[in-house]
């Protein structure tokens, strides 16, 4: 069963942002952002405010808890991706 499905009920509860969260991290790339936030995000960028946490503090945000930290892989560099890919074989 896809664990991300447990985020879906919150779409009906007027949250503008719904984000996956594990015990150690928030995962802003694994979430839902309402389209009405486009101008707000543009305003943040125009003011050079690039921390996603600022958006979370100003917009109604729901963090949905997930226990498995390993389910959310963070690959920041191509080399990390290549290493991960080779470990799958």
Q: Is the pLDDT of residue 1 over 70?
A: no
Q: Is the pLDDT of residue 8 over 70?
A: yes
Q: Strand locations in 11-76, DSSP E? A: 17-21, 26-33, 61-65
Residue ranges per structural domain of the chain: 3-88
The fold of the 3-88 domain, in CATH, is Spore Coat Polysaccharide Biosynthesis Protein SpsA; Chain A (3.90.550)
The pTM (predicted TM-score) of the whole model is 0.76
Q: What is the pLDDT of residue 74?
A: 82
Lowest mean pLDDT among 22-26, 33-37, 57-61, 83-87: 83-87
- pLDDT tens, residue by residue, 22-54: 999 999 999 999 999 999 999 999 999 999 999
Distance CA 31, CA 17 (A): 7
């Amino acid at each position: 069963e896809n664990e991300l499905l447990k985020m879906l009920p919150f779409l009906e509860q007027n949250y503008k942002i719904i984000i996956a969260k594990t015990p150690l991290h928030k995962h802003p790339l694994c979430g839902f952002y309402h389209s009405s936030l486009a101008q707000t995000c543009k305003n943040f960028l125009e003011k050079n405010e690039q921390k996603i946490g600022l958006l979370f503090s100003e917009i109604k945000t729901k963090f949905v808890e997930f226990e498995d930290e390993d389910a959310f892989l963070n690959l920041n560099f191509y080399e990390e991706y290549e290493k991960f890919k080779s470990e799958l074989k």
